[in-house]
Structure 1
Amino acid sequence: MSIRRLPEHLVNRIAAGEVVERPASALKELVENAVDAGASRVSIRLSAGGTERIEVIDDGCGMSAADMALALERHATSKLPDERIEAVETLGFRGEALPSIASVARLTLESRVRGSEGWQRVVDNGALVEEGPCAVPPGTSVRIEALFERVPARRKFLRSPRAEYGACLDVVRRLAMAHPEIAFSLEHDGRRSLAVQSGEGREARVAALTDRDLADNHVIVSLEREGVRLSGVASLPTYNRGVADHLYLFVNGRPVRDRLLLGAVRGAYADLLTRDRHPVVALFLDVPPTEVDVNVHPAKTEVRFRDPAFVRGMIVSGLKRALDEAGLRSVQRPDLAAMAAWRSERSSPTPIGALPIFAHQPERRHDFAPVDAYLSDAVRQWGDYTPAMPMPAARGETALDSAPSAQSFPLGVARGQVAKTYIVAEAEDGLVLVDQHAAHERLVLERMRRALESEGGGIASQALLLPQVVELDEPACDRLETRITELAEFGLELERFGPAAMLVRATPAMLGANDAEGLVRDLADDLAEADQALSLRERINHVAATMACHGSVRAGRLLSVAEMNALLREMEVTPHSGQCNHGRPTWVKLAHSDIEKLFGRR
């Protein structure tokens, strides 16, 4: 078969297959052109998810009639001032977007440069059908209609209008996040679904486009090394999601989906979140153009760095430093369902004023008689009334010293314990509830990490008086045997004891008296589940977290007030104490204003 040159319209359709996969791809190209044109406001209108109509209007520099004709030719662009393709600093420069889109849809292009007349060109599936002057404001308007209508092989692969709209919304959200200096608005089928104003700070723009609660539950990421700058917003570990749909990464203002960068984010949160939970992160990386190649993907959603290890290390370091500085911070948003459970009873079977105890009030006493005597007088007034439940009783302790002031500590001072699980503390600005098991679990984990990072590089062990035999299946014993050296660094000394048993000779001293058999079984299960998928560092964190869980204060244990306060004080000086090893909050605060709302004072 002889070689032949393809006709122009077929070349454009092939190029459209690379650039325009779906309506979101076309929308991305148009919005990027508007940003590169210096627009301060971009308005987008969609119909049927973009399959019927896409319209992008901007107030940028505009185009003359001659420039509009060139813009609809292949390989014509204003974004490469010379032949140095590696020095491009705009969002796009392929010069194929407009002609490719025009070859598979009806494209109407209207534009006007300030101080001159407007011009219009209409191209229907590659053929120019209309051209002439038009009355338009300064800037550019691009309208795409009937995308892929004459290319049924491509149109049948489009998803539902709702799904296509979701992809378009994600494109606009990412570009709007990258450019807080530009106002964006998006309408779908006549309903406005996104609107952000120009002049917002980066933090406010990220919160507006993700979740408003992020504004109160984030840390600022800022790091600069060797000409590379990292900035952005990252959620607290306790502010997380079940899917990784809120990881936004930008390189030189360009939204990207890069596996290297996503892996770095996961690595930074590895010891703070379980593998099925994901943070909300928006990171902005500014790199010299010579250090990154943005032309490795037709849609420019992937990049290649000259030194990927340096970039990954910088992201991990920047995120970890920001999260470390967060200290004991945790998400402080009372669950709406939990708050709704706090309600006042509007009716009672027996009016409280009709109870016999209020029929006769005892004479007011001024001699400070014992409380029990006073109560006995009151109880006798009940007569024949029998309460539905016995009189309440509670645990009390003799106060040897005066209670510390709640104003002296961020987490306040302990006032009691509820359900043998939650510590109730009074802070200066509200009521603090602490999950004693989750909090102590994090404290033990941080102690173990400090011990591992110390000069000795290991955790002290405590020998058992009698070695304990733990029976397991043979594969579990094999997995533990291969990790004996690593486990010994944590103070857990194991020895193979036959084909289906392990001998425990010592356990970590800092865990105290713990269930050695349960600890070994849990470690065997953890290694079976994720041993091959985790790196060495992740495995070490996994082992430490499992041991910390076994060595922490259990729910259901009574604590003295001194023990409660000691736990609170250690939380205040321990990094990441705001979340447990699984990413759940260890403490929540009910502000005074929330308490006042419960009692109708606000």
Structure 2
Amino acid sequence: MSIVQLDEYLIDQIAAGEVVERPASVVKELVENALDAGARRIQIATAGGGKTLMRVTDDGRGIPREELRLAVRRHCTSKLSGGLDAIASLGFRGEALPSIGSVAKLSLLSRAAGAQEAFEVRVAAGACEGPMPGALTKGTVVEVRDLFQSVPARLKFLKSDRAETSAITEIVKRLSIAFPGVRFELSGPDRSRLVLEAVPADEPLRRICDVVGRDFSENAVEIDAVREDVRLSGYAGLPSFHKGNSLSQYLFVNGRPVRDKMLISALSGAYADMMERGRYPLAVLFLEIDPSLVDVNVHPAKADVRFRDPQLVRGLIVGAIREAMAAEGVRGSTAAARGLAARFSNAAEARSPDPDIRFAGFAPGAPDIAMPSSPSAPRWPGSSYEAPARPRTPFDPSSAAYRPLDGSREAWPTEAGHGFAEDAQAPFESDAAQFQRTPSPQESRTDAGDHPLGAAKAQLFENFILAETPTGLVLVDGHAAHERIVYEKLKTALYGRTIASQLLLIPEIVDLPEDDADRLAEESETFAKLGLGLERFGPGAVAVRETPAILGQCDVKRLVRDLADELAEFGTRDSVKSRIDHVAATIACHGSVRTGRRLRLEEMNALLREMETTPGSGTCNHGRPTFIELKKADIEALFGR
């Protein structure tokens, strides 16, 4: 077959296959154009999950009449005056509008700033009509109808209307976080109306909470770090505040929302030993970097980026989050406290008595609750029947059924020491019940006021430590807390010096592709600090001569291949460190205080004090929370006070 040049319509359809994946992709491109035009108010209306209608209205600068036809032609843009090395806008490829027009009915109505009237162009099946006069006071209105009408096979790959509507909402939310000063409105017959009001530039957390949730501000740590020419800012959720998916991870590079796998990997690495598997942290992070040091022209969707120095960026994210968590000190998630309070409330409601049967107290005329009426003789309301007076017989210990075994009166409380006095209770104390000394009120107030985790009061179920703070109560999982403390001490001892290695009697030869062998050889010095000694062994292999001693007998070939894969995909070398951390976590788990051991009051307080000075003590090595704080107001609410 001879080589021929494709016609423009077919070229646009091919381009649409990359740019227009689903209705959410169309909304993303149109909203980004509105933001690039300086819009302060953007309205998005959809129908049929975006398959039937998508309309984006903005109050931006608009498009002059003579440029309307150019706006819907391929590779026509006003955003590349500085070249690809200085991209300062969200869009720049000039492919979105013509691609959309090739697979849907597109109309573009705009009134440029200072123009006397508005003009409109329409595109259907790649053919453009106009410009023609239109009615609009300001800005631009882009309307897309019947998506994929010219390629009906693409409709089969779309999801339900509800799923497509949710995807559009998610796209708008991500863009709204990057532009808090812009008002966004989502409406349509296929959705409930959503309005995100503009917020002041110095209060970005308000917009973040509108999107992520109101409780995010109570469970997040502010991030602000700079390394060389890269700055990282935003908020990272506490390790004990997590979700079952990664939808609440919002990453931005120079104001552009991205889903870059290297950045996601760095975020996961920052929480590696602070969060249980299968859970995902909540984070909103903004990366500001010189445009010449990042390539956003990787994919037409512009969701992936490439950094000139990925290790610098990864190290900044991991280091900044870990440092912020350590500086924050001991802090638990409010979600756990609310969950605990809800469990108490639900349990109380489940045990609540019949509302028609209430305790009326001991006031005159109150029912006799000591002797309920028999079913055979019901007591009807208004009846004059009164229960006969019960005879009262003086208590005689010598004839009582529960008299002391020796029959003497000496073991019974005297008038001066009756009831639950200490002397009266002494005969019933068991050796198995070992109660700790309770500090005086003055001591408790001093301890609780000086320390975030307060003063220990008791040990429950031979594991949980109950402590009192000036603002409420703290319940600590003793085993989990001590596990984190031991783990952090082990890591400090391990990484404070070169990790000990064991020399292999016979070097392990690992066959690898030549590129992987080159990458491993380049990082040999870093691996040597972690106790892994390797070197090139011919063009397609490496020789491993030493392994970290703490790993013991390990699968060397698998370890090296995992490292090669990680370097190829992410450019990182964390496999060795993660395995060493796993061994340290196992040692810490087995070496920490076990459930069932009774602690003295001094030991409980010492554990609380160590938690307050240990980084990441809000969770154990497996990601479970180590303590739950219940505020005094929450406790009072449980009792209706």
Give the TM-score category using the shorter length: 0.7 to 0.9
Q: Which residue of 2 aligns with 1:194?
A: 194
Q: Which residue of 1 aligns with 2:638?
A: 598
**Letter matched to residue 585 of structure 1:** P
Instruction: Please list, as runs of the form range in 1=range in 2, the aligned pairs for 1:116-195 lying within 5 A after superposition.
Output: 116-129=116-129, 131-189=131-189, 191-195=191-195
**Letter matched to residue 152 of structure 1:** P
Contact kept, 8 Å, 1:326 with 1:576, in 2: the verdict is no
Q: Which residue of 1 aligns with 2:472?
A: 430
Separation of aligned partners in 2, 1:277 and 1:417: 30
Q: Which residue of 1 aligns with 2:326?
A: 324
Q: Which residue of 2 aligns with 1:397?
A: 436
Separation of aligned partners in 1, 2:623 and 2:271: 9
Separation of aligned partners in 2, 1:455 and 1:486: 13
1:554-574 CA-to-partner distances (Å, cap 9, x unmatched) read 222222211111111111111
Measured after TM superposition, the shift of residue 294 of structure 1 is 0.9
**Letter matched to residue 436 of structure 2:** E
1:390-415 CA-to-partner distances (Å, cap 9, x unmatched) read 99x97533458763322222111111
Instruction: Please list, as runs of the form range in 1=range in 2, the aligned pairs for 1:298-377 lying within 5 A after superposition.
Output: 298-333=300-335, 334=337, 335=339, 337-343=342-348, 346-347=352-353, 369-370=416-417, 372=419
Contact kept, 8 Å, 1:74 with 1:95, in 2: the verdict is yes
Q: Which residue of 2 aligns with 1:517?
A: none
**TM-score normalised to structure 1 length:** 0.80
1:578–1:247 distance in 2 versus 1, CA, 3 Å: same
**Letter matched to residue 397 of structure 1:** Q
1:227-275 CA-to-partner distances (Å, cap 9, x unmatched) read 2111111111111122222222111111112121111111111121233
Contact kept, 8 Å, 1:49 with 1:188, in 2: the verdict is no
Q: Which residue of 2 aligns with 1:513?
A: none
Secondary structure of 2:106 counterpart: strand
Measured after TM superposition, the shift of residue 346 of structure 1 is 4.2
Secondary structure of 1:123 counterpart: strand
Q: Which residue of 2 aligns with 1:563?
A: 603
Q: Which residue of 1 aligns with 2:246?
A: 244
**Letter matched to residue 457 of structure 2:** R
Contact kept, 8 Å, 2:438 with 2:457, in 1: the verdict is no
Measured after TM superposition, the shift of residue 327 of structure 1 is 1.6
Q: Which residue of 2 aligns with 1:416?
A: 458
Secondary structure of 2:231 counterpart: strand
1:435-485 CA-to-partner distances (Å, cap 9, x unmatched) read 1111111111112122223458679xxxxxxxxxxxxxxxxxxxxxx9996
Contact kept, 8 Å, 1:42 with 1:57, in 2: the verdict is yes
Q: Which residue of 1 aligns with 2:97?
A: 98
1:474-515 CA-to-partner distances (Å, cap 9, x unmatched) read xxxxxxxx99964559xxxx7x9xxxxxxxxxxxxxxxxxxx
Separation of aligned partners in 1, 2:131 and 2:494: 73
1:73-125 CA-to-partner distances (Å, cap 9, x unmatched) read 2221111225x222221111111211111121111211112332112222222
Separation of aligned partners in 2, 1:101 and 1:485: 56
Deviates more, 1:231-240 or 1:192-201: 192-201
**Letter matched to residue 436 of structure 1:** G
1:488–1:89 distance in 2 versus 1, CA, 3 Å: closer
Contact kept, 8 Å, 1:218 with 1:234, in 2: the verdict is yes
Q: Which residue of 2 aligns with 1:291?
A: 293
Separation of aligned partners in 1, 2:421 and 2:266: 67
**TM-score normalised to structure 2 length:** 0.75
1:192-221 CA-to-partner distances (Å, cap 9, x unmatched) read 353222125222222221222111001111
Separation of aligned partners in 1, 2:482 and 2:193: 44
Q: Which residue of 2 aligns with 1:81?
A: 81
**Letter matched to residue 558 of structure 1:** R
Measured after TM superposition, the shift of residue 371 of structure 1 is 5.4
Deviates more, 1:342-351 or 1:323-332: 342-351
Contact kept, 8 Å, 2:69 with 2:131, in 1: the verdict is no
Secondary structure of 1:244 counterpart: coil
Separation of aligned partners in 1, 2:638 and 2:545: 53
Contact kept, 8 Å, 2:270 with 2:321, in 1: the verdict is yes
Measured after TM superposition, the shift of residue 15 of structure 1 is 1.9
**Letter matched to residue 9 of structure 1:** Y
Q: Which residue of 2 aligns with 1:216?
A: 218
Separation of aligned partners in 1, 2:283 and 2:154: 34
Secondary structure of 1:220 counterpart: strand
Secondary structure of 1:31 counterpart: helix
Q: Which residue of 2 aligns with 1:275?
A: 277
Q: Give the RMSD, CA atoms, in angstroms.
A: 3.4
Contact kept, 8 Å, 2:40 with 2:181, in 1: the verdict is yes
Q: Which residue of 2 aligns with 1:113?
A: 112
Contact kept, 8 Å, 1:531 with 1:539, in 2: the verdict is no
Q: Is residue 110 of structure 2 the alignment partner of residue 63 of structure 1?
A: no
Separation of aligned partners in 1, 2:243 and 2:171: 20
Instruction: Please list, as runs of the form range in 1=range in 2, the aligned pairs for 1:520-535 lying within 5 A after superposition.
Output: 535=575
**Letter matched to residue 535 of structure 1:** S
Contact kept, 8 Å, 2:16 with 2:99, in 1: the verdict is yes
Secondary structure of 2:192 counterpart: strand
Measured after TM superposition, the shift of residue 292 of structure 1 is 1.0
Deviates more, 1:291-300 or 1:167-176: 167-176
Measured after TM superposition, the shift of residue 350 of structure 1 is 10
**Letter matched to residue 103 of structure 2:** V
State percent identity of aligned pairs. Answer: 46
Q: Which blocks of at least 5 consecutive residues in structure 2 are unaligned?
A: 363-367, 372-389, 393-413, 502-543, 567-573
Contact kept, 8 Å, 1:451 with 1:458, in 2: the verdict is no
1:347-369 CA-to-partner distances (Å, cap 9, x unmatched) read 38996855669x99xxxxxx994
Measured after TM superposition, the shift of residue 5 of structure 1 is 2.6
State which structure, 1 or 2, has the greater radius of gyration over its C-alpha atoms. Answer: 2
Secondary structure of 2:334 counterpart: coil
Q: Which residue of 2 aligns with 1:584?
A: 624
Separation of aligned partners in 2, 1:125 and 1:66: 22
Separation of aligned partners in 2, 1:135 and 1:290: 42
Separation of aligned partners in 1, 2:67 and 2:269: 47
Contact kept, 8 Å, 2:120 with 2:131, in 1: the verdict is yes
1:60–1:450 distance in 2 versus 1, CA, 3 Å: same
1:415–1:71 distance in 2 versus 1, CA, 3 Å: same
Separation of aligned partners in 2, 1:355 and 1:250: 67
1:131–1:589 distance in 2 versus 1, CA, 3 Å: same
Measured after TM superposition, the shift of residue 322 of structure 1 is 1.3
Contact kept, 8 Å, 1:185 with 1:192, in 2: the verdict is no
Separation of aligned partners in 2, 1:341 and 1:545: 36
